Amino acid sequence: MRKLIINADDFGVCWSTNEAIANAFEYGVLCTATLMVPCAASSDAIKIAKKNPRIKTGLHITTNAEWDVKRGPVSPPDTVRSLVDENGLFINDIVAFAHRANPQEFALELETQYQVMVAAGLTVSHADSHMCSVYGLGLPSLMKEVLEFCAKHNLPFRFPRNPESLKYIIGKNKIPEDILESHAKSVKLADSLGVRIIDNFVVNVENVQSYEALKSAYFKLVANLPEGITDMGMHPSLNPAWRMRTWEYRLLVDNDFKLHINREGVVLAAY
């Protein structure tokens, strides 16, 4: 059987993303979302999730920034110095983050983000990683801390068992041997700790120039899904400045997409 979890990353990053995710749950095929606790609109996202119990909300582990975005930890910056710059804000370079992060400080911030969700009254459905920054694929790994955290709280983690899925994460069709070895170690550790992981991961990495082209690419992804449980990572938004994200939102509420999933015999699922 082919099961598909369509997950919206970045819940809480901004109002336009929150509204898109709420609408995609209500009118589309969105299955789960993951919350960026350190972001400015996370409290708004929590309110949306609490109003609609159908919204299954996981933790989008966020310990880095990106582009010109500025955000800091939920923990006091003095307690997680290896994760922040001189201004107490997250580092916007994944490579630098991976090399600098102290595992104990990372684990502290991870637990603090989780406890914010619990204190707000949310049931945390699963966990995943913002920009795949903790996977340790070719970089220092924080998977031990993540998987021990997931085992402690009985959370599934979005990490693919199938090494073919790594091409979507590293952006290469040929996967280097050291990354394959790192992946295998993480899968083995997840199994030893009893942490449930997905079979496959897919994301649209094509640089498309129109909504119809994006729709066609996703139709192809669904048609070619392998057996098992697949997580499809998406980033819906209503912000026109993020053209690809508005197209992903449009796809999630496009009835043609729902019909295509059904025709392919793919079963929508959740964590």
In angstroms, how far is CA 231 from the centroid of its own chain?
Answer: 9
Whether pLDDT at 67 is above 90:
no
> Do 101 and 172 meet the contact criterion of CB atoms below 8 Å apart?
no
Please give the CATH architecture assigned to the domain spanning 2-268.
Answer: Alpha-Beta Barrel (3.20)
Q: For the ranges 64-73, 78-87, 121-130, 172-181, which has the lowest average pLDDT?
A: 64-73
Task: Give the model's confidence band at 172: pLDDT under 50 very low, under 70 low, under 90 confident, else very high.
Answer: confident
What does the alpha-carbon distance between residue 98 and residue 96 come to, in Å, rounded to a whole number? 6
Place of tokens 């009118």: 27
pLDDT digits (tens, 9 = 90+) for 14-58: 999 999 999 999 999 999 999 999 999 999 999 999 998 889 999
Angle between helices 177-193 and 143-153 (to 10 degrees): 20
For 199, counting Cβ atoms within 10 Å of its Cβ (0-12 exposed, 13-18 middle, 19+ buried), the class is middle
Place of tokens 């091409």: 167
Task: Give the model's confidence band at 76: pLDDT under 50 very low, under 70 low, under 90 confident, else very high.
Answer: very high
* Model pTM score: 0.95
Which stretch of DSSP H or E encloses residue 192?
A: helix 177-193
pLDDT digits (tens, 9 = 90+) for 192-249: 999 999 999 998 767 899 999 999 999 999 999 999 999 999 999 999 999 999 999 9
Residue 40: phi and psi, rounded to 5, are -65, -35
Task: Provide the pLDDT for residue 18.
Answer: 98
Which stretch of DSSP H or E encloses residue 8?
A: strand 2-11
Q: How far apart are the first and last CA of the chain?
A: 16
> Do 51 and 85 meet the contact criterion of CB atoms below 8 Å apart?
no
Task: Provide the pLDDT for residue 203.
Answer: 86
What does the alpha-carbon distance between residue 156 and residue 58 come to, in Å, rounded to a whole number? 9
For the chain, how many helices (H) and strands (E)? Answer: 10, 9
pLDDT digits (tens, 9 = 90+) for 82-116: 999 999 999 988 889 999 999 999 999 999 999 99
pLDDT digits (tens, 9 = 90+) for 251-265: 999 999 999 999 999
**DSSP string of 56-123?**
EEEEEE-----TT-----SS-GGG-GGGB-TTS-B-S-HHHHHHH--HHHHHHHHHHHHHHHHHTT--
Query: Would you list the domain boundaries of the chain?
Result: 2-268
Rounded average pLDDT over 120-148: 93
Higher pLDDT, 205 or 143: 143
